[in-house]
């Protein structure tokens, strides 16, 4: 999904929003945004993005570990996310992080692409 500056602003202002950022040479090279419902003890991974040139170098895994640690501290029971079904690299990454597919979401994205709803419990 492509986010506009306004989308980011709304996400960052939402209650329960948390952002984790990775920098290299004072440049943002990766980030993740989560939304947490503390009453229900649920976290939603809205997005996790790593510059294509740095993918496969464990930056995404480091960000996910940080998110998992925060989830444990907040006593979160589950973390959910959506990922494009036709993005095998991302699906493989999330499966490697312990997420499992719950169901397919038909025409979830604006361009009618299907998504997979995935979930996992924090460590």
55 lies in which domain range? 5-120
Q: Could you tell me the pTM of the whole model?
A: 0.91
H or E element in which residue 13 lies = helix 5-13
Q: Looking at residues 84-92, what average pLDDT do you find?
A: 96
Q: Which of 32, 50, 30, 34 is nearest to 42 (CA)?
A: 34
Q: Provide the CATH number for the domain around residue 88.
A: 3.40.630.30
pLDDT band at 1 (very low <50, low <70, confident <90, very high): low
Number of CB atoms found within 10 A of residue 86's CB: 12
Domain count of the chain?
Answer: 1
pLDDT band at 7 (very low <50, low <70, confident <90, very high): confident
Terminal alpha carbon distance of the chain: 28
């Amino acid at each position: 999904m492509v986010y506009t500056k306004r989308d980011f602003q709304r996400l960052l202002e939402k209650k329960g929003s948390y952002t984790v950022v990775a920098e290299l040479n004072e440049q943002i090279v990766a980030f993740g945004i989560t939304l947490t419902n503390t009453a229900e003890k649920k976290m939603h991974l809205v997005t996790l993005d790593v510059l294509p040139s740095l993918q496969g170098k464990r930056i995404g895994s480091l960000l996910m570990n940080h998110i998992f640690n925060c989830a444990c501290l907040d006593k979160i029971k589950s973390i959910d996310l959506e990922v494009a079904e036709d993005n095998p690299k991302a699906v493989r990454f999330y499966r490697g992080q312990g997420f499992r597919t719950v169901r397919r979401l038909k025409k979830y994205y604006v361009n009618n692409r299907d998504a997979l709803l995935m979930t996992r419990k924090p460590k």
